[in-house]
Amino acid sequence: MRAPTYSEALEFAIDRSYDINLDMLRSRNLHLDTHNDYLVGTYPPLKAMGDLNAEKLLLQVSSSIDLYFHIPFCDQYCTFCHFAKEINPSSGRVERYLAALDKEMSWSDAALAGRVVETAFFGGGTPSFLTNRQLETLFGMISRRFDLSKSEVSFELHPSLAKQVDAADRISTLLRAGVNRFVLGVQSLDPTILRILNRGHHVDEVVQLVKLLNEMGVQNLSLDLMYGLPQQTLRSWYDSLIGLLDMGIEKFNVFPLMFKSTDPVARHLARGRYQFAGAKERIIMHFMAEHILTKLGYRHGPIFYWSKQSQPHSIQQSRKYDSWNDNNLVPFGVAGFGYMSQCQFYNEADLDRYLYRVEEGEKPVWKGVVLSQDDLMRRTVMFALRSSGVLLSRFEREFGVSIEKCFGRELELLNEAGLICISNGLLSLTAAGTINSGAVSLLFFSNNILERIAYNDSRIIDKRTDLLEKHDYSPAARYGSSAEMQVAFR
Ligand SMILES: C[S@@+](CC[C@H](N)C(=O)[O-])C[C@H]1O[C@@H](n2cnc3c(N)ncnc32)[C@H](O)[C@@H]1O
Ligand code: SF4
């Protein structure tokens, strides 16, 4: 099957975009403005959390777990990126961090012994920033504790790895250590956009790195792409996607650009420094990708994920969204967020504080919250909707009550607005619901959580420097008082 031409993809996408009535959705608070549209990976979000006794986390560890390792180092500061990172760390800093990771891991040895590791994810920052020797150190200390031989092991790469003389050695080390899924941040193949984003690489490096990974036998490679970028036209978006498809890429993570007020790109948007796609154009970009990928035999996985029919999409993402309450996400490192023993929590997000606490012999848990049964049901629904949907019978079995009884009003609102559908006992998002998934999630936030967010938000003295403000991405935290939030989201 050939890829749709630009005019075919555009015509299809414009046609589909008419199905989404933005005015109606806005009037019902079911569409978030572009600058507030963010899909948060935790519920509750950081601003609803408080102090948490780290010992609580190890009380009910499930038999299978997922691991997350945060590697917070990068060569440059990309304008859109709010992830915890340090640019060009000073000499010895990475080794100090690795020693802290080792110490942090050692504290849960007894509690995690014998657990099956379903997935491990190395994210950042830029994990491929580590030298070959540092990678060997990292995987050496992990293999003393965990058996990754049957796990999905994902590792994030930046295209600038292609410039390193020992790029092939580093990839060999990763393959020997059990990495079997690589995620490469590409974002765009448009040189002007890459420069505006301060990505620190050219298109050539993407091509070289993909070639090297192929030559080294890497089978499972996902590329991160974004739409809604500064100066990105519909044509440029089409060309980037087609350029990567021509390179034989079989998996894509297609993200809409999401804004956090403390990132440079949010200032660029607010000050009109560059052209950004509006809400309607972003929807057209979404449908262009959908049309091109489905025509070529790709299927839509969890929310932003696409993979060729023959390939399973990421187990890590499916487990995060579909395993309901029976998985434990165990984070290691600065700003790692986890979910264990029914607690959603964050590690220290400031690198110096993380290092200080670990070196002093303390667990680096920063904030967390134990989920009530009500919030657990809410979390389950909002997460499952991002992936395989909510099987109504499973909900009733797990929670002893029907979903209609708990969330009748929310379901009615979403159904009337065309954001969800129920078919064969499965509740799922429609295309309009997927595009507005940030707003759908917000509708399921409990009053209790919204109030805690508002309270913690009101105590922030300086929003430019406050760590909570910097690391909480949730749109729920972007509105002042509780009363305002109730109006905005109810
Ligand atoms: C930790 S970064 C990727 C790894 C590597 N550091 C790199 O930049 O190539 C994870 C991915 O999240 C996505 N991402 C980061 N910030 C985003 C934002 N503001 N909106 C949407 N996606 C974003 C990007 O596609 C990025 O590749
Ligand atoms: S996008 Fe990647 S390379 Fe850029 S600052 Fe963020 S983590 Fe670092």
Q: What percent of the chain has pLDDT over 70?
A: 97
C-alpha to C-alpha distance for 205 and 21, rounded to whole angstroms: 41
113 CA from centroid of ligand 2 (Å): 33
In a domain, 368, yes or no: no
In a domain, 419, yes or no: no
Sign of the CA dihedral with 169 first, then 170, 174, and 180 last: negative
Cα–Cα nearest to 152, from 65, 31, 72, 233: 65
The count of other CB atoms within 10 Å of the CB of residue 215 is 10
Whether ligand 2 lies within 6 angstroms of the CB of 125 is answered as: yes
Whether ligand 1 lies within 6 angstroms of the CB of 364 is answered as: no
pLDDT digits (tens, 9 = 90+) for 147-157: 999 999 999 99
Residue 434 has pLDDT above 70, yes or no: yes
> Which ligand has the nearest atom to the CA of 162?
1
> Which ligand has the nearest atom to the CA of 86?
2
Look at 238 and 262; give whichever has higher pLDDT.
238
Q: By residue range, what is the domain housing residue 278?
A: 46-321
In a domain, 420, yes or no: no
Confidence of residue 309 (pLDDT cuts 50, 70, 90): confident
What is the pLDDT of the chain when averaged over all its residues?
93
202 CA from centroid of ligand 2 (Å): 15
Please name the residue whose Cα sits nearest to atom 27 of ligand 1. Answer: 185
In a domain, 78, yes or no: yes
Q: Which two tokens stand for residue 294?
A: 């489905």
Lowest pLDDT segment from 363-367, 431-435, 455-459: 455-459
Question: CA distances (Å), 335 to each of 352, 450, 477, in order?
Answer: 12, 22, 18
Helix (H) or strand (E) holding 283: helix 279-295
- What is the number of domains present in the chain? 1
Helices (H) then strands (E): counts for the chain: 21, 17
Cα–Cα nearest to 309, from 300, 317, 321, 318: 300
DSSP conformational letter for 89: P
- For ligand 2, mutation pick of 74, 79, 229 (most atoms within 8 Å of CB): 74
In a domain, 243, yes or no: yes
**Ligand 1 nearest atom to the CA of residue 224, by list position:** 25
- For ligand 1, mutation pick of 37, 81, 252 (most atoms within 8 Å of CB): 81
The count of other CB atoms within 10 Å of the CB of residue 262 is 16
In a domain, 213, yes or no: yes
Q: Compute the 3-state secondary structure of the chain and give helix, strand, coil in percent, each to the nearest 5.
A: 45, 15, 35
pLDDT digits (tens, 9 = 90+) for 188-226: 999 999 999 999 999 999 999 999 999 999 999 999 999
In a domain, 55, yes or no: yes
Residue 455 has pLDDT above 70, yes or no: yes
Residue 470 has pLDDT above 90, yes or no: no
> Which ligand has the nearest atom to the CA of 87?
2
Instruction: Give the pLDDT confidence score for residue 487 in this predicted structure.
Output: 45
C-alpha to C-alpha distance for 488 and 349, rounded to whole angstroms: 29
Instruction: Give the pLDDT confidence score for residue 479 in this predicted structure.
Output: 56
Whether ligand 1 lies within 6 angstroms of the CB of 274 is answered as: no
Contacts of 144 (CB under 8 A, 6+ apart): none
Q: Which two tokens stand for residue 179?
A: 């990495």
Contacts of 200 (CB under 8 A, 6+ apart): 75, 76, 78, 158, 160
Cα–Cα nearest to 318, from 302, 331, 307, 306: 302
DSSP conformational letter for 411: H
Helix (H, G, I), strand (E, B) or coil at 347: strand
In a domain, 442, yes or no: no
C-alpha to C-alpha distance for 69 and 135, rounded to whole angstroms: 12
Whether ligand 2 lies within 6 angstroms of the CB of 186 is answered as: no
Residue 251 has pLDDT above 50, yes or no: yes
Q: Which two tokens stand for residue 271?
A: 């000050």
Cα–Cα nearest to 127, from 90, 92, 165, 173: 173
428 CA from centroid of ligand 2 (Å): 32
Residue 57's domain is classified under what CATH number? 3.80.30.20
78 CA from centroid of ligand 2 (Å): 6
Sign of the CA dihedral with 284 first, then 287, 292, and 293 last: positive
